[in-house]
Amino acid sequence: VLIAGNWKMFKTPSETAEFCAALRDREAELEDTDVVVCPPYTSLHHAVSVLAGTSIAVFGQSVHWASEGPYTGEVSATMLGELGVTGAIVAHSERRQLFAETDETAALRVEGALDGGLSVIACVGETESEREAGETDAVLRRQVEALRVVVDEDHLDRLALAYEPVWAIGTGRTALPDDAGLIAGLIREQLRETLNTEMGEQVRILYGGSVNPGNIKDFMAKTNIDGALVGGASLDPDQFAAIVRYRI
């Protein structure tokens, strides 16, 4: 199970250090779950320092595909890696909607990050209007296919896909666990079809969209959901730890 907290543009370096110290103190309670925090770039160093020696990993919120170059505002896998950051979110819907991320740039980022030694949480999901137009399956198929073609078989254990219906992010509205489970099943099927069966099983599929301590169990009960990407509820160490400890 993988539970990742996406902090978006929240928490300064000192707030990050405070949060990470609180989470570190609770490490023994975090079960055998892979726990990841994704602070803003300016807070990554503080998160890595405070969490050093724990099993809690620190990821960036995006990453460029080149190792260096004239790309103002971007950072590379090499730069993140030297900092002690071990992975990155790619193509979050806010990047797709507000910062012109496309399936093509998402694929390049996934490839660059995996080749650069990072783990990746790549986000897919339909918007409300796509959902209403009955296009959910087609949109997901297109988004997953774009990512799949760049993934080297040797890197599959470092790749997770997050199914995040855009209308459920930061809205307090969640997908019905049954629907999320069904869509995770479709994504799994697509991975199995295009990779070989065994490899399709290796990629972890997360659900994201208004996950909280009260609803996490319902999502985790679904066969093809292997974890969660959590936004708002990951900003508070008590709530985030409660989500990680959903089994109790």
CB of 172 to ligand PEP, least distance (A): 8
The yes-or-no answer on residue 101 being catalytic is: no
The yes-or-no answer on residue 135 being catalytic is: no
110 within 8 A of 59, measured Cβ to Cβ: no
Supply the DSSP string of 88-139, one letter for each residue. EEES-HHHHHHS---HHHHHHHHHHHHHTT-EEEEEE---HHHHHTT-HHHH
44 within 8 A of 7, measured Cβ to Cβ: no
Among 30, 56, 184, 229, binds ligand PEP (CB under 6 A): 229
Q: Which of 46, 92, 94, 155 is catalytic?
A: 92
Q: Which residue, among 173, 142, 164, has the nearest Cα to 208 in the 3D structure?
A: 164
Q: How far apart are CA 47 and CA 25, in angstroms?
A: 14
Among 2, 79, 159, 211, binds ligand PEP (CB under 6 A): 211
CB of 15 to ligand PEP, least distance (A): 17
Specify the residue, 111 or 164, whose C-beta has the smaller distance to ligand PEP: 164
Q: What are phi and psi of 21, to 5 degrees?
A: -65, -40
Among 2, 17, 56, 169, binds ligand PEP (CB under 6 A): 169
Provide the CA 93 distance to its chain's centre, in angstroms.
11
Binding window for ligand PEP (CB under 6 A); candidates: 24-32, 144-152, 187-195, 225-233 = 225-233
CB of 190 to ligand PEP, least distance (A): 21
- 230 is a site residue for ligand PEP (CB under 6 A): yes
CB of 60 to ligand PEP, least distance (A): 14
Among 128, 149, 170, 182, binds ligand PEP (CB under 6 A): 170
Q: Which of 101, 111, 126, 164 is catalytic?
A: 164
Q: What percent of the chain is helix, strand and coil (3-state, nearest 5)?
A: 50, 15, 35
Q: Is 15 exposed, middle or buried, given 0-12, 13-18 or 19+ CB atoms closer than 10 A?
A: middle
Specify the residue, 8 or 158, whose C-beta has the smaller distance to ligand PEP: 8
Q: How far apart are CA 46 and CA 148, in angstroms?
A: 33
User: Which residue's beta carbon is nearest to the bound ligand PEP?
Assistant: 231
Question: Could you give the residue numbers annotated as active site?
Answer: 92, 164
